[in-house]
Structure 1
Amino acid sequence: MVEHKKIVTKIQIRFRDIDAMGHVNNAVYLTYFEEGRKEFVRSLFGIVQPDEYNFILAHIACDFLRPITISDTVILEIWVGEIGKKRFDFIYRLLKQGVDENDSSICANGRSVQVFYDYQQNTTLAIPAHIREKLTEYSGEATADR
C-alpha cells in the first residue's frame, strides 16, 4: 500500500443513530462520512462555513462490513483517492476499536466523488493548482485489510 496522509476523526454515536435492530442504521454511515469530509476540509483548507465549500458531492457509495452499536468506539479515516481535472475521490474507512487501540475491525469502506464547482456561475471548475497540491499529499487507494 502506498503511504499517504489521512485525517482520523472519532465518531460520536448518538442514540438517534440506532435502529430497531440495535445497531447504527445504514443511512447514518453516510452521515459519518460527511463528518469526515467536514473535518478534512476544515483541517486542510480552514473551511468551516457551508458557503465556503467549493465542491459538490456527485456520487457516494458504502460497503457495510460489520454492525456498529451504541457502546462501540468508532473512528473514521479519510483520504484522497483519484484526482482528475475537475473531480477527486474521498476514500473512507470506518473502524470499530477493540480493547487495545491497535486492535480494530473495519465496519465500512466508502468512496465519494466531489466535483469542483462555482455556485455563482453554476458551472464546474478545474481544481486549482494549490488545492490539487494539498489533495495529492493525502492521495492513496483504499485496501481491504488494515
Structure 2
Amino acid sequence: MFVETLAPRFCETDALGHINNTVVPVWFEAGREPIFQLFTPDMDVNNWKLIIARISVDFLAEIHYGTGRDVEIRTGLAKIGNSSMTIRQEVWQEGQCCARGDAVMIHFDHSAKQSRPIPDTIRAELEKHLLDVEKAE
C-alpha cells in the first residue's frame, strides 16, 4: 500500500466548514503518483502511458480543516487485468476512514489510440500492492 499524508488547506473547505467533496478526487490523484511513476518514471506527460476510464467516491464521514488534522491517502490495487487496473483509495483522518474510491486506469498507447498489456515488470510491482478487497469492505 502506498501512503501519502496531506494537510487540508483552508481553500479546500466548503460553506459548511468541511472539506469540499470536489477535493477528494484531487487528493486521490496525488495518491496515485507512485503508480504513475511505475509506468512513466520521469513523469514526462509527453510519454504518458495511462488513461483514466472511471472514478467513483463514497463519502463516509466529514473531513475537517485545522491544525493537526492531516489526512492520510491510502492507495492499493483492488484488481489487475491485462491492460487495466482498479486502484482502491481511502482518506483517513483521526483514525477514521472518511472516503473510499476506485479508479480504473488503462495502460494506453496514445499514438495508436489503444490499450496495451501491462508489462510484466510493472505488473510485478503492482502485485506488491494488491489488497484483500473482500476483507476491506
Q: Which residue of structure 1 lines up, in the alignment, with residue 92 of structure 2? A: 95
Alignment partners' CA distance in 2, 1:82 and 1:28: 25
What is the identity, as a one-letter code, of the residue corresponding to 2:90? R
2:109 aligned to 114, 118, 121, which one?
Answer: 118
Alignment partners' CA distance in 2, 1:118 and 1:51: 11
What is the identity, as a one-letter code, of the residue corresponding to 2:131? G
| Percent of aligned pairs with the same amino acid | 27
What is the identity, as a one-letter code, of the residue corresponding to 1:78? T
Q: Check 1:110–1:141 CA distance in 2 against 1; reply closer, same or farther (3 A cut).
A: farther
What is the identity, as a one-letter code, of the residue corresponding to 2:113? N
Q: Which residue of structure 2 lines up, in the alignment, with residue 30 of structure 1? A: 25
Query: Could you tell me how far 1:8 is from its partner in structure 2?
Result: 0.5
Query: Could you tell me how far 1:111 is from its partner in structure 2?
Result: 0.8
How many residue pairs were aligned? 132
What is the identity, as a one-letter code, of the residue corresponding to 2:55? I
Alignment partners' CA distance in 2, 1:79 and 1:47: 21
The within-5 A match list for 1:40-55 is 40-42=35-37, 44=38, 46-55=41-50
Verify the 8 A CA contact 2:36 2:50 in the aligned structure 1. Answer: no
Verify the 8 A CA contact 2:52 2:104 in the aligned structure 1. Answer: yes
For residues 65-118 of structure 1, the C-alpha deviation after alignment (integer angstroms, 9 at most, x for no partner) is 111111122111101111111100111011002xxxxxx111011111001100
Alignment partners' CA distance in 2, 1:117 and 1:38: 17
1:78 aligned to 75, 83, 105, which one?
Answer: 75
Verify the 8 A CA contact 2:19 2:62 in the aligned structure 1. Answer: yes
Per the normalisation by structure 2, the TM-score is 0.88
Alignment partners' CA distance in 1, 2:113 and 2:92: 37
For residues 108-141 of structure 1, the C-alpha deviation after alignment (integer angstroms, 9 at most, x for no partner) is 1111100110011111111111111111111113
Question: Please, which runs of 5 or more residues in structure 1 have no aligned partner?
Answer: 1-5, 98-103
